[in-house]
Amino acid sequence: MVKKVGKLEKTKFIMDILNKIYPKTPIPLNHKNKFELLVAVLLSAQTTDKRVNIVTPNLFKKANNPFEMSKIPEKTIYKIIKTCGLAPKKSKAISELSKIIVKKYNGIIPQSFKDLEKLPGVGHKTASVVMSQGFGYPAFPVDTHIHRLAQRWGLTDGKSVVKTEKDLKQLFPEKSWNKLHLQIIFYGREFCTARSCYGLQCEICKLCNPNRKRPIKTKQA
């Protein structure tokens, strides 16, 4: 009988493998300042980073700061981003948050979870990405890839993304969070995709759960 692998052993396996495969973690969404990052992350919900990176150059050419964006008609924003999912809601959110940032924060992106999450269209995950990638604050944004892999690796029960984030933060050292969340996303896209592996094939799944014989069904984010 194969020995059961504990969570601490799993975290070592995972970090060793991911650091070997992804020693560097470039930020997937192209941006030149924190406002552009905020807008790009907001746009990335229910669409791909590739699609966002196609759309944002035209948007940021018109306005790459809240002062300029707040003056652009919502319809104009919509026409530029309409190929992204939920475009009507996103165009409204971009317009409104730009005006709020100008009026309430003098055009400066707020540097706290609390203030970011009060902005239209900005939830906890979006705020976490901005805090992590924009300000370097330790955060562990959980997207669909991370939520899926954490379950496949036996690190969480998948009850909710909130629970997954809490479980991962307890398991991994804080100094690794900003890099690790990107590494897991890259790995989920390349080796442990939603329509393959199912907890049985990739290197990490096999190391973390050597006794597993059947595919694991994961709960969606």
143 a catalytic residue: yes
Q: How many CA atoms lie within 13 A of 54 on its CB side?
A: 9
Q: Under DSSP, is residue 205 helix (H, G, I), strand (E, B) or coil?
A: helix
The catalytic position among 10, 90, 143, 167 is: 143
In the block, residue with structure tokens 């003098």: 106
Contacts of 48 (CB under 8 A, 6+ apart): none
Select which of 50, 75, 89, 125 is catalytic: 125
Sign of CA dihedral 98, 100, 106, 109: negative
Q: How far apart are CA 187 and CA 17, in angstroms?
A: 10
Q: How far is residue 209 from each of residues 168, 172, 194, 204, measured CA to CA in Å?
A: 17, 18, 18, 8
Catalytic residues: 125, 143
